[in-house]
Amino acid sequence: MTFENIQDNHVQYAPMIRDMPEDERPRERLTRLGARVMSNAELLAIMMRTGVGGENVLRLAERLLAHFEGLNGIARASLAELRTVNGIGPAKAVEIKAALELGRRLLASAPEERPRVTSPADAANLLMSEMMLLEQEHLRTVLLDTRNHVLRVETVYQGSLNTSVVRIGELFRHAIKENAAAMIVAHNHPSGDPSPSPEDVHVTRQIRQAGALLDIELLDHIIIGHQRYVSLKERGLGFD
């Protein structure tokens, strides 16, 4: 698996929020359509309010998400790490950490509100809208409690999936930390074709065997293509 570092040096400029059509502005969209339809970038933009150096705040939010590979990465980042992104000063860094901590506490206080995965379709629906658009392969783990509620989703690898690079122990590191009872592994095929390769089946078998030793059940390995997915568990591949 090869990795590409996301560069933060080249900023693409876009019209300021005030210059965008009113029905495309994040605040107006939230007021009109509700928070649930908003993208992560739009919600971050509303919270941060302003961009920097002529860059609109929506573009800043997109860069922030790209730099840390999603909300989970932002949540794990320290204040100092957040401030390494051009445009994120002390005030914005603190506001971001405060908002994400509130979200974490809300989930902790109401675990029944967490998504529940009871089928391959549930897992695919949780991940497909984002993963089917990725230009590189990403391997993610969906960590679950004893009732199959989602504890968190982690990006473990980015690049070409192969057994020479994937360290099985690394896949379970977050699962052990979260005291997960089970997990689902998912990766995307940028070609759009989710057909499993022999390598995919081999990796699945290794993960399942390691999970049995650690008492963390591998429920499925989902491969995501363009508007399609394959469940290796349903096909009996790697779960023999």
Q: What is the tens place of the pLDDT at every residue in 128-179?
A: 877 887 888 899 999 999 999 999 888 888 876 554 457 888 889 999 999 9
Number of residues that this document lists for the chain: 240
CA separation for the pair 228, 221 (Å, rounded): 14
| Tokens matching residue 136 | 């590189």
Confidence of residue 83 (pLDDT cuts 50, 70, 90): very high
In degrees, rounded to 5, the angle at the alpha carbon of residue 155 between the alpha carbons of residues 143 and 215 is 30
| String of DSSP letters for 14-82 | ---GGGS-GGGSHHHHHHHH-GGGS-HHHHHHHHH---BTTB-HHHHHHHHHHHHTSHHHHHHS-HHHH
With tokens 């992560």, the residue in question is 40
Contact 163, 199 (CB under 8 A): yes
User: Within a 13 Å sphere around the CA of 111, how many CA atoms are in the beta-carbon half?
Assistant: 10
Go through the domains of the chain in sequence order and give each one's CATH number: 17-109 (1.10.150), 120-235 (3.40.140.10)
Contact 82, 60 (CB under 8 A): no
Confidence of residue 17 (pLDDT cuts 50, 70, 90): confident
